[in-house]
Amino acid sequence: MPSAKDIKELRARTGAGILDCKKALTECDENLDKAVDWLRAKGLAAAAKRAGRIASEGVVGSYIHAGGKIGVLVEVNCETDFVARTDQFKALVKEIGMQIAAHTPEYVAVDDLPSSVVDRERAVQRARVLEEGKPEAVADRIVEGRLKKYFQEVCLLEQPYFREDKKTVKDLLAESIAAMGENIKIRRFTCFVLGEGLEKRQDDFAAEVAAQTARQ
């Protein structure tokens, strides 16, 4: 079984996804140099090199779910209009739309979170840890672990891919970059939930309160 240290080093050297790095090390008897060559042969190591390229083409895709109850608009960029028109790229955009509908993230990436949001969440989690009676010596480590879980909930790229939960959306994107040969970026998205934010009718509200009371 490849160690986390070797997987991390291989990922740093190639930019390939975590699962691809793990598979490469397994296939190559945990030899890092051979694993690098294995990833290059598969085209996965090239994804990191493409990450800096300008991606200004692409499409705005839509996905409607649950009989019109949930709707997603997402902009996914690539380098050329040729790739943007391919069925492979359109399928990727649809998958991303389905991911957003299923897990309703709030941001694309961790870097998109305002520092004030991260600081507030860190403070909340630290207060929880201390309230639980955890020792000060391990409090910070527990807080960082809970922050990571929070990022997986609110950041699209950090979320487990809904079809394969051992893979993140970031890994899916890296695989797509390798397969299509262009830099691909998820720029922005909007998720609409029917009736969200609207005041409920009084009888609907009363029924909801009664239902929640009955469950207690």
Domain boundaries, the chain: 4-45
pLDDT tens across 9-44, in order? 887 777 677 888 888 899 999 998 898 888 877 766
Q: What is the dihedral angle through the alpha carbons of 72, 77, 83, 85, rounded to the nearest 10 degrees?
A: 40
Q: Which residue has the tokens 């955009």?
A: 93
What whole-number distance in Å separates Cα of residue 161 and Cα of residue 31? 28
Tell me whether strands 160-161 and 164-168 are parallel, antiparallel or unpaired: antiparallel
Nearest alpha carbon to residue 32 among 53, 52, 16, 54: 16
pLDDT tens across 59-93, in order? 999 999 878 899 999 999 999 999 999 999 999 99
Taking domain 4-45, whether its CATH number is 1.10.8.10 is answered by yes
DSSP string, the chain: ---HHHHHHHHHHH---HHHHHHHHHHTTT-HHHHHHHHHHHT-TTHHHHTTS---EEEEEEEEEGGGTEEEEEEEEES-HHHHTSHHHHHHHHHHHHHHHHH--SBSSGGGS-HHHHHHHHHHHHHHHHHTT--HHHHHHHHHHHHHHHHHHHBGGGSEETTEEEEEHHHHHHHHHHHHTS--EEEEEEEEETTTTPPPPHHHHHHHHHHHHHH-
Question: So what's the pLDDT on residue 201?
Answer: 63
Across the chain, what does the average pLDDT equal?
86
Question: So what's the pLDDT on residue 211?
Answer: 63
Tell me whether strands 164-168 and 57-65 are parallel, antiparallel or unpaired: unpaired
Band (pLDDT 50/70/90 cuts) for residue 200 is low
Would you mind telling me the total number of residues written for the chain in this entry? 216
